[in-house]
């Protein structure tokens, strides 16, 4: 009878071909903590005294064209009411003499929804008036009583 005796060559640990991710996770957690501490410090407001601009102010038109959107979504060009959105293009052409390059100053009641204001701006674009300026309150007038 023949018998084979083992001589200890197979008892060695075999090579492990997998990446050990534990040190990688430790490093990533340390970096996460560093960024969590540093991010709020980066958003601190710093008082800065900005210099005055040397550019000339843009020329204001002698008679600006205001398009107003009231709280009830009715439209008015200057003080003249517009019948409906379909008649907006014709009313603007009548006021501007067909000059599509004239800037339209758009002002809206603060209760007008954003979607309704965008619909008016789309109507202006469809009519060919691409120069639109939004009008808001002056910063000093925000707290003032009406």
- Can you give the pLDDT at residue 27? 94
What does the alpha-carbon distance between residue 135 and residue 138 come to, in Å, rounded to a whole number? 9
- How many other C-beta atoms are found inside a 10 Å radius of the C-beta of residue 137? 11
Looking at every residue in the chain, the average pLDDT score rounds to 78
Tell me the pLDDT tens digit for each residue of 40-61: 777 655 565 556 666 666 666 7
Which residues of the chain carry a pLDDT beneath 70? 1-12, 43-60, 137-146
- Can you give the pLDDT at residue 136? 74
- Can you give the pLDDT at residue 107? 87
Contact 76, 106 (CB under 8 A): no
- Can you give the pLDDT at residue 143? 42
| Residue 137 DSSP class | -
- Can you give the pLDDT at residue 31? 95
In which order are the strands placed within the sheet that holds 104-108?
A: 80-82, 75-77, 65-69, 104-108, 132-134
- Point out which residues pair with 105 in neighbouring strands: 66, 133
- Can you give the pLDDT at residue 146? 42
The model's pTM: 0.54
Contact 65, 104 (CB under 8 A): yes
- Can you give the pLDDT at residue 3? 61
Query: Which of 142, 116, 135 has the alpha carbon at shortest distance from 66?
Result: 135
């Amino acid at each position: 009878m023949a018998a084979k005796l083992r001589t200890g060559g197979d008892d060695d640990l075999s090579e492990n071909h997998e990446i050990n991710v534990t040190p990688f996770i430790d490093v990533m957690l340390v970096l996460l903590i560093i960024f969590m501490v540093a991010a709020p410090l980066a958003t601190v407001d710093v008082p800065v005294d900005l210099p005055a601009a040397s550019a000339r102010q843009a020329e204001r038109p002698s008679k600006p064209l205001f398009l107003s959107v009231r709280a009830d979504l009715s439209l008015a060009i200057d003080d003249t009411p517009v019948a409906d959105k379909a008649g907006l293009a014709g009313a603007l052409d009548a006021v501007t003499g067909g000059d599509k390059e004239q800037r339209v100053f758009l002002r809206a009641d603060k209760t007008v929804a954003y979607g309704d204001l965008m619909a008016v701006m789309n109507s202006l674009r469809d009519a060919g008036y691409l120069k639109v300026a939004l009008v808001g309150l002056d910063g000093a007038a925000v707290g003032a009583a009406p």
